[in-house]
Structure 1
């Protein structure tokens, strides 16, 4: 791992957390669809990242959002769950030729179907954790499930737009 690699992901961390806190906090669709763009930091990390490091980064990004949202660890728990499930989902989605360890989850490189399954599955589990930890009640289960589905679709569409606009179609350079 070289220094430009590290700087790239530090900038992504700051950018996605800042977007979440400054912009997405106020962007809600019909009081049910919330966009948690900060999870893009975890989803877009290289496929070959160390699992322990990934779990630590999941906690760090979630805890940072929790500090600003005053949510007492809900986002940290959901982000660690996402980081944990990410490695298992990547194993299930492994292409025949395997992954290039320098590659990140990129719609241009991995293809639409792979990217959509990867993104929406992890977003669904993340959002289930966030909203059910927030509610801690099954009395409003249908409304909570509506929030999960609406937020998963909203966040997924935003992440697709981010991928198409800002991420390269070239493979990561080997260094």
Structure 2
């Protein structure tokens, strides 16, 4: 259990530092911005209690809000992402997996499940983020374009990180 906490703390620090130092300054005409810090929320162990998940998501969002000078926008989007995560895990995972502290990694869950999880979760996060930020339906096409392009950008970065950190399953029987 201590190892899980240490690994997730290190993952949190690295992803927040990357987001603030590198990805905050990368964008495409203020239309597409990557937010790979959400990978931290995706990779939290499956068996974490829901209340703790929501608190972690809120604090993660507030941390990013502090660096972006936004007031709760990222916190709201992170809480929406965790809501999706809880729902997605309930409908796609078996009960014994839900109660385990397994990390939902690409190598453990398979590409189909992992890619669906990342794709839908990123869309939920970005929809919440941009609609809370704009808080209007006046320029909905511009907002939807930002959601789409930022989601694509974020997903590509997350998959690059996934490829760089991919670990093959160890098969004891072979």
Q: How many matched pairs?
A: 170
Structure 1, unmatched stretches of 5+, are: none
2:7 and 2:87 mapped to 1: Cα distance? Answer: 25
Tell me the C-alpha RMSD between the 2 structures: 1.7
1:43 Cα offset (Å): 0.4
Residue 147 of structure 1 pairs with residue 150 of structure 2: no
Partner of 1:124: 123
1:137 Cα offset (Å): 1.3
After TM superposition, the score normalised by the length of structure 2 is 0.91
Partner of 2:135: 136
Partner of 1:48: 47
Residue 108 of structure 1 pairs with residue 107 of structure 2: yes
Given that 2:74 and 2:129 are in contact with CA atoms closer than 8 Å, whether structure 1 keeps it comes out as yes
Greater Cα shift, 106-115 or 60-69: 106-115
Instruction: State the 4+ residue runs in structure 1 displaced beyond 6 angstroms.
Output: none
2:3 and 2:161 mapped to 1: Cα distance? Answer: 21
Report Cα offsets for 1:24-82 as digits up to 9, x if no partner: 00111243111111101100111111111111110011000001111100000110111
2:166 and 2:100 mapped to 1: Cα distance? Answer: 17
